[in-house]
Structure 1
């Protein structure tokens, strides 16, 4: 045990005794640590530099400048080498600085190598593991290196941090004045005016169970079960997302409701044949040719997106929640219809068994397996491949679930991402 470590841990033991016990069992020996030199020096962990190797202080100053000067409470995610903490603690108006550990082993290693007593001893500092809280705290700065190095325990918070950081970039495509959006909404106007209001469906299934079916690879485990349940007199309502519709049809399963929101959905995804008894719930960005060809009842609704602001005033309709994926309005529809229990199928947010979707070839629905550079934890606690937007969709679904504690949410599979707020279905999840 190094002299630095003893002194650093002494402070932590005094101020946060239970946290110090956790730190003492972190295994820093599993990390590949190297000194990297430039105009200055820094520490590289598993090939990732914790800070600049040229001017750590200037870098910390730039990071600090991104946070509001007048905020009495700030949050730093990742511990780094202590530079950002020291910079922020120079602010006289700062009353509390929360430092959230993203990788316990990395922090334990830094405690062995560098003196961190000054910021650890400051009475304004609160130290905790990021994963101890279910949600991110604002305003924050997340140290980029530790977003990459985040360990399994803190992975859910890492995903929320990255999703929040990318929010503005991800929303760039949804400009209400964009010509393609204006043109599509104008083309859909007549259908929206003539079709039912999605709000007419709200409350129709009070106290019932609803199956919400997405297109993740784990759906393939359940085709036979779903077909059997569909034939029962007393059964849950089947609500599926648009891309799950064709794979379900191919296995003899006709859902009760299909939900579609995406302008890229075509008749290839939603073939109109034999749809007389199937309800289509849609948002006006869906191709009007696809809508017009649908033989069954159509119900229009909106999201909170600014692109629907004018149309919402012109033709009032009910609203469904959208967090980037069609899974969100499908789940919200189930809740607003009055479901007491929602069971998710194919809600994987990842690529289990090295597949992207059930019933579609690699790349048919956009992402290819080779594009999967990120990971989430599955229902077995193992890392599985995914991509950033899937992690963002997962975060938003988990937030939605947390906001509806009156509904029981079940996940039908452990193969995909573990979804906070759901339980594994006792009969369906293997």
Structure 2
């Protein structure tokens, strides 16, 4: 898994909405073959240049920042088409470098395998070791933010806040953070060696990759002095999340819970549509979110009812709640449908789509900014909770293996319950 994801993931649909769209080759001029090349070699080089140019065209047509990070995008095209490419890998490297000029952490090139991994992630499953990593913006180190319960990483004892030093001997300082999944994910049964630093101690783990199925949510009833409360934890937004939420709410309503705690801590996002569909389960006919694309065109997303429950709701958030998590939390907070408890969120207020290139590779491109119902763009700012509560000893929240409900020592959950029970009759 990876942070941000399709929206993510999913992040997204991008790392908010991932739209897989196969594009036909646009009618672009291809440089005249170099005379010293054979006809076959010239055609091959032109196919590589065509791939580079197709990627350029996608950014030209779709990218939200029309200044292209103050770059002369036509000049960039001329530069990259004036070069010679002897292999598909050369073209891949060129496209990667070209989009990096945008200095957008979410716009990136993906190989065909990378696209498959991305689609698997937003579908709720992937092949890997069950660890989510994120680049620490201050230290520039890869930090573990979550391990999937019962995964190889979890079984080995890898923990949130661990630092990934190297993968298969390659220092992570030499790897683009957006390539993290390509290093960690691989064939079922294949092995990967990960070096971890925890404090001043270094450890090396040899892990075997396996199929990881990510449960879109877990839920359980919490007994309180005011009666039953439904606790729901969502680790990520996948294509299965909305259906799972509907099932959970239907079951919890049958158990006659009086209110809900929705835990979005450490949720990096995922499928944008899932966050919208879930928001509609809690709200009536209101505007949930708005997006504005590269042409300034605004699109509003509305709830249209009926809701599945009108009972009080508290949402737990933290600094790793991002993207689709923020869409859901902001919509419910702005309409006073829920109170947010925890720490400010990550701050990802942009939407990506996945565009396929002719050879099966592709680009994840930032195509829009989104705004909360009150007109706020939270990109690089985040959402402020109604009630600020730090996590235990400043450590990120980590679900306990085999347990759904957080422990009593969890200050954010404990405070959230207090806030909720005050609203219960």
Taking structure 1 as the reference length, what is the TM-score of the superposition?
A: 0.24
Structure (1 or 2) with the greater strand fraction: 2
Structure number with the bigger relative contact order (C-alpha 8 A, sep ≥ 6) is 2
